[in-house]
Amino acid sequence: MHRACPLNDLARGDAIRLDTSPPIAVFHTEEGELFAIDDTCTHQDASLADGWVEGCEVECPLHASKFDLRTGAVDSPPAKLPVRVHEVAVIDGDIMVIESQEAPNLPPGLTVGGHV
């Protein structure tokens, strides 16, 4: 389990990147929902925490691939592979992320722990 930050520190509409391996992005939507997905776009090395969130989708800032924050599914190319989804809980006021045990889908040239 990873501690992201206090819930009060992540405003609605914002996201943060956790320095895990691979990195995880935590999103606090305008509607007040919390989601966590792998931070790296599966198309190319770009941080999804830097993307644009609308509803339950995040758009990659590099090539505009869109991912569903609930399922990790790709909603818009050029990405073809989904991102992992992680469980989120608020415990004693802190956002906690329970990392998925599934293998991550990383873009070409990246491996868990860094570059090839």
pLDDT digits (tens, 9 = 90+) for 9-30: 999 999 999 999 999 999 999 9
Dihedrals phi, psi of 93, to nearest 5 degrees: 85, -5
* C-alpha to C-alpha distance for 76 and 18, rounded to whole angstroms: 24
Give the tens place of pLDDT for each residue, 31-56. 999 999 999 999 999 999 999 999 99
Domain coordinates in residue numbering, the chain: 2-111
pLDDT band at 108 (very low <50, low <70, confident <90, very high): confident
pLDDT confidence of residue 116: 45
pLDDT of the residue at 115: 45
- Cis, peptide link before residue 22, omega less than 30° from 0: yes
- 2-111: which CATH architecture? 3-layer Sandwich (2.102)
Average pLDDT taken over every residue of the chain: 94
Tokens found for residue 49: 């925490």
Q: Residue 49 in contact with residue 43, Cβ under 8 Å?
A: no
Q: Which of 42, 32, 36, 7 is nearest to 20 (CA)?
A: 36
Distance separating alpha carbons of residues 28 and 56, to the nearest angstrom: 10
pTM for the full predicted model = 0.93
Rounded Cα gap, residues 106 and 29, in angstroms = 24
**Is 91's pLDDT higher than 50?**
yes
